[in-house]
């Protein structure tokens, strides 16, 4: 994460005060100072725990030592995890909430909705019906610190498929719970507050969690040992662009960030996997990439293959085997390279490019 990471905690100040989640343990001192600056002489009445992953929950015990009068508001599953992490469930300071429960702070009315497996089983979302604000735990988060100016969607896509992507069905279940809510602002635990064009963000999350392509285009993900497979990839890219295929992206899996390659695979409608046979298996980076995809329910795509090998060229067969349980469509055209490109494999590349540009 070259641009860092934000750990967001929110405070709602009303007749009663609610603090929304804590932060990663290394930022405890700064977080408590920020709280003091906001609270002044007042003390918080509630700590609302939406997610128990330690980058958000690590300071629960420290918070309770500093504010022993506060009540912890969380799901039943979260209190089990609190005991596992801190050795106590804070029995005298606990309020267990579930779907439809409400907490009044005065003017602000907080409604709770369970969001299990988005992306841990204990997660809750909190909706401030007064401010029309959804506190969305890790959902709608992104990589990058808040002082970095960058497009939201790229790092949000990488964040989603790296962290939440396996649980699209559960994201859809939460969407159904939220469909009648008037959401005008989203406050995630990572990344910026979203306050404009909420429909854009909701639509993207709906697309991602349904495992549908975001754009029509081709990702070519490859590994190459001596450069011959890379040469085939470059030639395929050239042919695709000549035929007017939109959105051609290339990732060298041995050198790029794996999470970026995974995000691009889910972004585009088509994928070409190109690699060499290695120790009668796949080159390790390609094997890892396919595992990342299948663990995240990769589906609804068209997939083509370029396999290379000098004396046992079985890479394409192995890649297909690893994807055989995924709901993807294999291209009819395959490219088989024996050491280096020749007239036959170049012709196969032409057929693969033609099929990719004409299929949908």
CA-CA distance, 262 to 346, in Å (whole number)?
27
Render pLDDT for 241-292 as a digit per residue (tens, 0 to 9). 999 998 999 999 999 999 999 999 999 999 999 999 999 899 999 999 999 9
The fold adopted by the segment(s) 10-209 is Metallo-beta-lactamase; Chain A (3.60.15)
pLDDT score, position 2:
86
The percent of the chain in helix, strand and coil, each rounded to the nearest 5, is 40, 25, 40
Q: Please state the domain extents for the chain.
A: 10-209, 216-358
pLDDT score, position 99:
95
CA-CA distance, 194 to 310, in Å (whole number)?
53
pLDDT score, position 190:
96
pLDDT score, position 359:
79
pLDDT score, position 246:
87
pLDDT score, position 232:
97
What's the mean per-residue pLDDT of the chain? Answer: 95
pLDDT along the chain (360 residues), means of 10: 92 98 95 96 97 96 97 98 96 96 98 96 97 97 91 95 95 93 96 94 96 97 95 97 93 96 97 94 95 97 95 92 96 94 95 91
Q: Are 125 and 99 in contact (CB under 8 A)?
A: no
Domain 216-358 falls under CATH 3.40.50.300: no
Burial 2-20 (b: 16+ CB within 10 A, else e): eeebbbbbbebbbebbbbb
The SS3 assignment for 330 reads strand
Give the pTM: 0.92
pLDDT score, position 327:
96
Render pLDDT for 13-27 as a digit per residue (tens, 0 to 9). 999 999 999 999 999
């Amino acid at each position: 994460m070259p641009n860092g990471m934000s750990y967001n905690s929110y405070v709602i100040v009303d007749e009663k005060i609610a603090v929304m989640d804590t932060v990663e343990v290394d930022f405890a001192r700064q977080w408590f100072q920020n709280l003091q600056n906001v609270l002044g002489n007042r003390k918080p009445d509630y700590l609302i725990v939406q997610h128990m992953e330690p980058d958000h929950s690590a300071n629960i015990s420290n918070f309770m030592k500093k504010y022993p009068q506060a009540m912890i508001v969380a799901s039943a599953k979260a209190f089990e995890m609190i005991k596992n992490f801190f050795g106590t469930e804070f029995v005298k300071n606990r309020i267990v909430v579930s779907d439809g429960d409400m907490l009044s702070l005065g003017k602000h009315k907080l409604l709770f909705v369970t969001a299990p497996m988005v992306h841990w089983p204990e997660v809750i979302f909190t909706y401030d019906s007064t401010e029309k604000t959804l506190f969305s735990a890790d959902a709608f988060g992104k990589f990058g610190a808040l002082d970095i100016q960058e497009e939201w969607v790229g790092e949000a896509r990488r964040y989603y498929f790296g962290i939440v992507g396996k649980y699209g069905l559960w994201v859809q279940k939460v969407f159904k719970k939220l469909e009648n809510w008037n959401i005008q602002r989203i406050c995630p635990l990572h990344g910026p507050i979203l306050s404009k064009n909420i429909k854009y963000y909701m639509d993207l999350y709906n697309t991602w969690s349904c495992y549908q392509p975001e754009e029509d285009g081709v990702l070519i993900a490859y590994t190459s040992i001596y450069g011959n497979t890379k040469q085939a990839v470059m030639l395929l890219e050239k042919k695709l662009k000549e035929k007017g295929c939109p959105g051609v992206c290339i990732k060298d899996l041995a050198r790029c960030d794996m999470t970026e390659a995974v995000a691009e695979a889910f972004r585009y409608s088509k994928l070409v996997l190109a690699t060499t046979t290695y120790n009668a298996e796949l080159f390790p980076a390609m094997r890892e990439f396919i595992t990342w995809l299948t663990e995240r329910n990769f589906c609804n795509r068209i997939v083509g293959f370029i396999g290379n090998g000098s004396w046992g060229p079985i890479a394409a067969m192995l890649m297909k085997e690893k994807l055989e349980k995924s709901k993807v469509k294999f291209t009819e055209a395959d490219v088989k390279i024996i050491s280096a490109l020749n007239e036959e494999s170049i012709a196969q590349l032409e057929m693969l490019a033609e099929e990719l540009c004409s299929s949908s």
